Amino acid sequence: MRIAWERHGEGEPLLLIHGLGYARWGWEPVVEPLARSFEVILFDNRGIGESDAPPGPYTAAELAADAAQVLDEAGVQRAHVLGTSLGGMVAQELALAAPERVERLVLACTTAGGQESFPMPEQTVKLLTSGATLRQFVENALAPEPDAEVVERILRHREATAQPLEAWSAQAAAGATFDALDRVAGIAAPTLILHGTEDAVVDSRNAAVLALRIPDARVELFPGCGHLFFWEQPERFVEVVTEFLS
């Protein structure tokens, strides 16, 4: 699998894993600030950007294997891992499948899946079934009454890296079939769980579900923020993550 990746900064390695429909540009507001403290490694998941897009459906386990491949290619044996949304599911799989590769784990706006987790909010389900525009999806991923400049920045990026429907569906299948609820108790890495309280994509109550099952996990909420809370409060995000990883 050809996976496109890049690195920034120096220090302890930090692998960033993004979610459905977002290439590595999705970390734009926080990459350089994080790179002041860490060697930040970010990549395009299979199915988007400059990475290969084989026929799907994909699984979170396959995407986690891609993430491990990136670490191999970067010459990194062990790293902090930060995953958001679908990327958070991938990060859970990586921490479970290859615990020796994960130093500390940060799970952002994600879920363990399974029947006891909270399902996708109705607001997003309606968008998925109503033929909504890309702009509506971007706005939906932010807090109510989102910053217009942030919407435009994200929209330009998403239009530039638009996925074929087949590739988007292949990635979406990895999230839809993910269920680690009965396995996350086996995560050995110290874990920080982050979530925006106004997340309309992944119910914020899933943060507590994860925290109850992952040993000694800590939760930090971002009041008033949506799914892409690190675009809305990048300074606080970097501060919280840096404090935890340091």
Whether the ω angle into residue 57 lies within 30 degrees of 0, i.e. cis, is: yes
Which string of b and e fits 184-193 if b means at least 16 CB within 10 Å? beebebbbbb
Order across the sheet with 218-222: list the strands.
5-8, 38-43, 12-17, 79-84, 102-108, 191-196, 218-222
Give the model's pLDDT for residue 131.
Answer: 84
- Full-prediction pTM beyond 0.85? yes
Q: In 3D, which of 78, 14, 11 has the Cα closest to residue 41?
A: 14
> 12-26: per-residue pLDDT in tens?
999 999 999 999 999
Query: Phi/psi at 224 (nearest 5 deg)?
Result: 80, 0
- pLDDT tens digit sequence for 160-201: 998 999 999 999 999 999 999 999 999 999 999 999 999 999
Tell me what pLDDT residue 233 has. Answer: 98
> Which tokens sit at 154?
């994200």
pLDDT recorded at residue 157: 96
Q: Which stretches of the chain score pLDDT less than 70? A: none
**Burial of 179 (C-beta count, 10 Å sphere; 0-12/13-18/19+):** middle
- Report all structural domains of the chain as residue ranges with CATH numbers, in order of start: 5-245 (3.40.50.1820)
